[in-house]
């Protein structure tokens, strides 16, 4: 056994029971492979945990494994492909996954489809977090993040219980360096130029679902639930 692994007898019973219950609950859920598309600040990270828990999916964020491929502008580089293959085989991905922030280009979307086809699967649904650009600056500049979990807060729209600290762990929150009005502008330009074509790509395949991402978080959650239960 690897030195970092925890012996089963040392796992607290309550953790084991929680995990067993989760697996039992999840065994009856249908498989789902989802893509979340939307500009920065549209609420993807806020909705992901809700979708993940309800449908027993794993959350695969670009940041975790695909950033290098995206930065190198390789469609879906060997490294990224390997990382993705591996990630999708984790037990937590057994019922499917949520891809958040990927694919960003049509070429990446095509490569992803090829990869899934080889596994005999496909993307079931793409949630389009449609929102007007004008709303995003306030969302982005007020965003606070708990780095370890990725949980996001907002000074006005989703304040933590204690100012500056994560609700769950009590650890300090941070503001991302690129969460400024100026960086947002260039990220939005890239989004409109490249990622909107990805939306068309999935619309043509008939898997696109539109969300009203400008609505309050709870309303967006209800919309997501409706889309995913249909």
With binding defined as CB under 6 A, does residue 42 bind ligand ADP? yes
Member of 37, 46, 99, 112 binding ligand ADP (CB under 6 A): 46
Residue 208: its H or E element: strand 208-212
Residue 104 catalytic? yes
Find the residue with minimal CB distance to ligand ADP: 45
State the maximum Cα–Cα separation within the chain, in Å, rounded to a whole number: 54
Member of 55, 97, 102, 153 binding ligand ADP (CB under 6 A): 153
Q: Determine the size of the site formed for ligand ADP (CB under 6 A).
A: 20
Among 33, 44, 139, 151, the one annotated catalytic: 44
With binding defined as CB under 6 A, does residue 59 bind ligand ADP? no
Q: How far is the CB of 13 from ligand ADP (least distance, A)?
A: 35
Residue with tokens 């070429």: 107
Q: How far is CA 129 from CA 16, 25, 125, 167, in A?
A: 36, 28, 13, 25
Distance, in Å, from the CA atom of 143 to the CA atom of 160, rounded to the nearest integer, reads 11
Nearest-5° Cα angle at 105, 99 to 106: 100
Reading the block at residue 123, the tokens are 């993307």
Q: How far is the CB of 123 from ligand ADP (least distance, A)?
A: 19
| Partner residues linked to 98 by β-bridges | 34, 59
Whose Cβ is closer to ligand ADP: residue 20's or residue 222's? Answer: 222
Question: Which range, of 111-119, 152-160, 168-176, 185-193, touches ligand ADP by CB under 6 A?
Answer: 152-160
Would you list the DSSP string of 120-146?
Answer: T----EEEEEE--GGGHHHHHHTEEE-
Whose Cβ is closer to ligand ADP: residue 30's or residue 63's? Answer: 63
Within residues 178-207, the interface with ligand ADP by CB under 6 A covers none
| Partner residues linked to 32 by β-bridges | 96
Distance, in Å, from the CA atom of 1 to the CA atom of 184, rounded to the nearest integer, reads 46
Whose Cβ is closer to ligand ADP: residue 77's or residue 150's? Answer: 150
Member of 41, 75, 96, 160 binding ligand ADP (CB under 6 A): 41
Within 13 A of 68's CA, how many CA atoms are on the CB side? Answer: 10
Whose Cβ is closer to ligand ADP: residue 35's or residue 81's? Answer: 35
Residue 22 catalytic? no
Distance, in Å, from the CA atom of 127 to the CA atom of 225, rounded to the nearest integer, reads 11
Question: Which range, of 79-87, 148-156, 180-188, 202-210, touches ligand ADP by CB under 6 A?
Answer: 148-156
Whose Cβ is closer to ligand ADP: residue 153's or residue 201's? Answer: 153
Binding region for ligand ADP (CB under 6 A)? 38, 40-46, 139, 142-143, 152-154, 157-158, 215-217, 220
């Amino acid at each position: 056994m690897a030195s970092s692994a925890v012996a089963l007898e040392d796992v607290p019973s309550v953790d084991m029971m929680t995990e067993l219950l989760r697996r039992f609950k999840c065994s009856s859920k249908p498989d789902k492979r989802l893509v979340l598309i939307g500009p920065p600040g549209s609420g993807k990270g806020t909705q992901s945990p809700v979708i993940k828990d309800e449908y027993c999916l794993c959350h695969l964020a670009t940041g975790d494994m695909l950033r290098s491929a995206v930065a190198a502008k390789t469609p879906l580089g060997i490294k990224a492909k390997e990382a993705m293959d591996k990630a999708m085989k984790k037990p937590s991905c057994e019922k499917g996954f949520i891809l958040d922030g990927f694919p960003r280009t049509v070429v990446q979307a095509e490569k992803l489809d090829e990869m899934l086809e080889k596994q005999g699967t496909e993307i079931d649904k793409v949630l389009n977090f449609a929102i007007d650009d004008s709303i995003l600056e306030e969302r982005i500049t007020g965003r606070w993040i708990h780095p370890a979990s990725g949980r996001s807060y907002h000074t006005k729209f989703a304040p933590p219980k204690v100012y500056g600290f994560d609700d769950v762990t009590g650890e300090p929150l941070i503001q991302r360096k690129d969460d400024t009005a100026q960086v947002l502008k260039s990220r939005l330009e890239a989004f409109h130029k490249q990622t909107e074509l990805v939306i068309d790509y999935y619309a043509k395949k008939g898997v696109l679902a539109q969300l009203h991402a400008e609505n309050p978080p709870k309303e967006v959650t209800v919309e997501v639930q409706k889309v995913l239960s249909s």
